[in-house]
Structure 1
Amino acid sequence: MDLLSDVIGVMRVGRPALSLEVADPGWQTAAPVFEGARCYVVTAGCVRVTGPGLPKTGSSSITGPGDATVTLQVGDAVLVPHGTAHTLVNPTDGVARFLSGAYRMDQARPHPLFHDLPDLVGLPSRPDRYPSLHASIELVRGELDEQMYGRDVVLPALLDVLLVYLIRACLSERAQSQATGWCTALTDEVIARSLRAVHERPAEAWTVASLGAFAGLSRAAFARRFTAMVGQPPLTYLTWWRLTLAARLLQTTDLPLSAVEQRSGYGSAYAFANAFKREYGMSAGRYRHQ
């Protein structure tokens, strides 16, 4: 499994929800804080979105802090990766239509990749630059408009695809304006190689030196580069990922604790118990029970 799939996999909770909304002239609504991510795609008319992290009207991407407003035209999208409160308004005399998607996420332990995204990210319609995102939006629109058989199976899958393409586009936009962070770490072959190794083989006895050697750098050079891009030292992220994986296994499987310990890279029950309790404030057994 690739890094982005891993990130979404450990954060997602339940099935996504999707609806096609109709906004009459003057319509407005306040979207409260949500335990997950939201997205909107305008299919007719325009919708104005206001919230923290949005640019001034007319900007092509979202980078600045503070409240601001953007007006979405047909095909434009907005991703709300942290479930931040925001408002939506139809500012015109015509009827607007837009797709509204919701993805429940485990906000108690968000992956650092999501920290790298602003509260709201706007993506203007760019079929030439993001053809896969544009195509997925068209597929979702078609399923909603045509009322085809099997849509209850197709739509959740398409919504998952849409989320991935939205995050990919967001990371691509961010990478152009940032020299560090997860958006650049995923495109840096050296750091991405070490991250894939940690995700694919978390139980291996990794050290900074062995990860650096695997990535093709000296220990010191690798540690500096990894920390600058990821925002954490290599072994700090390794520990974080191992315990995140352990928690996911406790939530979603019936594996005995000994198997969870081994899969998450802990050679002894004592070491695992101490690390898990330090991270989650309770024993692994109690965590699974709750």
Structure 2
Amino acid sequence: MWRVDVLGDVLELARVDASLMATFDARAPWAIELPDRQGATFHAVVAGTCWFSVGDAPARQLTPGDLVLLPAGARHQLASDPGLPPRRFDEDLKRSLIRPNGELVLDGPGGRTRILCAGYHYAAAVHPLLGLLPPVLHVATAQPASGPWLRSVLDLLAHETRSGAATGSGTAAVRLLDLLLIHVVRAWLDTEGDTIDPSWLRGLRDPLTAQVLAVLHERPGHDWTLDTLAATVNVSRATLVRRFTRHVGEPPLTYLTRWRLDVAARTLRDTTLPVATIAHRMGYTSEFAFNRAFARLHGQPPGRYRRHAATNG
């Protein structure tokens, strides 16, 4: 409950937008290399098998229901068999493979593999989520806890991409990709989350810390103190500070200040509300104090930040 709310907040704040890149349909033998890209890259195997590798790491086999997310869009390879020389996937190759229905097809005499490929674009400078993740997340829908939910979303996504020109299929696919990202991160947290450094993302694994994060996200402009926050989640101040700091890496009110200023940055970009109004909504009684705190975190005062954001889109 708490986990989805906080994760959704951060995804919205960072403007994580999904876009379906391609449905890849290939018959062995084949191998392609996908270059670095801005944003995250996502692949889901819906039929057949393939081999996936990044850098010097050993290739791993992906089977139906396997999903891989590359948060930083690292260069990687997909192949029907390990060791095959890859073709670089550039615009020329894409144009030569694409069919009228939008699928990318590689013909061959061997077994067939079908992969859904997508991308996620995000504002990396704003309270990053994907920067906290490892270079590759590999999640299997066969795992008992979160697998059935992932499989359901993946099946729906595969259906929408097969629908072609069906009314609303493109919009439905993008919405499902948004949902799939949340489920992939949740599944990874359930199995591997203890391996990451202290951060708000790791904090979602601890019930108390997750509850505190949700409270702060729900009411960032409230006049929180350690006493009122501890009373809200029914623990002592000492327990609150110890648990939160251990999992998140900073005390609750320090996190709250940064979260307020990140929300303020989004509001400056997306609205024309006066700076004084934004400052008040974020819990600041003084516009001067808000301006100083904002400039300390974002490197420039609110007015200049808004002008720069408008100029650079």
With structure 1 as the length reference, what TM-score do the two structures score? 0.85
Q: Which residue number corresponds to residue 22 of structure 1?
A: 25
Q: 1:43 to 1:13 in 2, by over 3 A?
A: closer
- Aligned partner (choices 57, 78, 85) of residue 68 of structure 2: 78
Per-residue deviation, 1:176: 7.0
How far does residue 158 in structure 1 lie from its aligned partner after superposition?
1.4
Secondary structure, counterpart of 1:139 in structure 2: helix
Supply the distance in 1 between the matched residues of 2:80 and 2:260 (Cα, whole angstroms). Answer: 46
Paired residue secondary structure (1:172)? helix
Cα distance in 2 for residues equivalent to 1:253 and 1:138: 37
The corresponding residue for 2:11 is 8
1:125-167 Cα offsets, whole Å, 9 max, x none, are 3174321110110011111123222212211111111111111
User: What is residue 69 of structure 1 aligned with on the other side?
Assistant: 59
- Give distance in 2, aligned partners of 1:103 and 1:123: 17
Match of 1:60 in 2: none
Separation in 2, partners of 1:107, 1:27: 34
Alignment correspondent of 2:97: none
Residues 185-224 of structure 1 correspond to what in structure 2 (within 5 A)? 185-224=203-242
**2:159 aligned counterpart, secondary structure:** helix
Contact 1:202 1:242 in 2 (8 A): yes
Q: Which residue, 21, 31, 35 being the options, matches 2:34?
A: 31
Q: Select which of 107, 127, 133 maps to 1:117.
A: 133
Correspondence 1:79-94 to 2 at 5 A:
79-91=69-81, 93-94=110-111
Asked if the contact 1:35/1:106 (under 8 Å) is kept, the reply is: no
- 1:166 is the counterpart of 2:184: yes
- Give 1:48's match in structure 2, choosing from 41, 47, 51: 51
Q: Match for 2:157: what amino acid? A: V
Residue in structure 2 matched with residue 139 of structure 1 by the alignment = 156
* Sequence identity percentage: 35
Matched, 1:283 2:273: no
Q: How does 1:93-104 map to 2 (within 5 A)?
A: 93-104=110-121
Measured after TM superposition, the shift of residue 107 of structure 1 is 1.4
Residues in 1 aligned to 2:292 and 2:201: alpha-carbon distance in whole angstroms: 33
Q: Please give the secondary structure, in 1, of the residue aligned with 2:36.
A: coil
* Residue identity in the other structure for 2:70: V
Q: 1:183 to 1:275 in 2, by over 3 A?
A: closer
Q: Deviations over 1:206-249 (max 9, x none)?
A: 22333223222222222111011112221221111011101111
Distance in 2 between the 1:182 and 1:202 partners? Answer: 15
Listed as ranges, the gaps of 5+ residues in structure 1 are 53-65
Higher deviation after alignment, 158-167 or 126-135:
126-135
2:133·2:196 contact (CA, 8 Å) conserved in 1? no
Partners of 2:196 and 2:292 in 1: CA distance: 37
In structure 1, what is the Cα distance between the partners aligned to 2:284 and 2:77?
A: 46
Aligned residues: 276
Structure 1 position 229 matched with structure 2 position 247: yes
Deviates more, 1:279-288 or 1:79-88: 79-88
- What secondary structure is seen at the aligned counterpart in 2 of 1:67? coil
Structure 1, 82-91 or 216-225: larger mean CA deviation: 82-91
How many Å separate the matches in 1 of 2:197 and 2:295? 35
* Inter-partner Cα distance in structure 2 for 1:226 and 1:146: 46
Amino acid at match of 1:27: W
Give distance in 2, aligned partners of 1:152 and 1:281. Answer: 39
| CA distance in structure 1 between the partners assigned to 2:72 and 2:231 by the alignment | 35
Paired residues of 2:295 and 2:301 also in contact (CA < 8 A) = yes
CA distance in 2, matches of 1:32, 1:236: 38
Q: 3-state SS of the aligned residue for 2:232?
A: helix
The 3-state SS of whatever aligns with 1:163 is helix
Question: Could you say what secondary structure the match of 2:220 adopts?
Answer: coil
Which residue does the alignment assign to 2:98? none
**What TM-score, normalized to structure 2?**
0.79
In 2: Cα distance, 1:114 partner to 1:13 partner = 9
Q: Report SS of the residue matched to 1:102.
A: strand
Structure of larger gyration radius:
2
CA-based RMSD: 2.5
How far apart, CA to CA, are the structure 2 residues paired with 1:145 and 1:170? Answer: 28
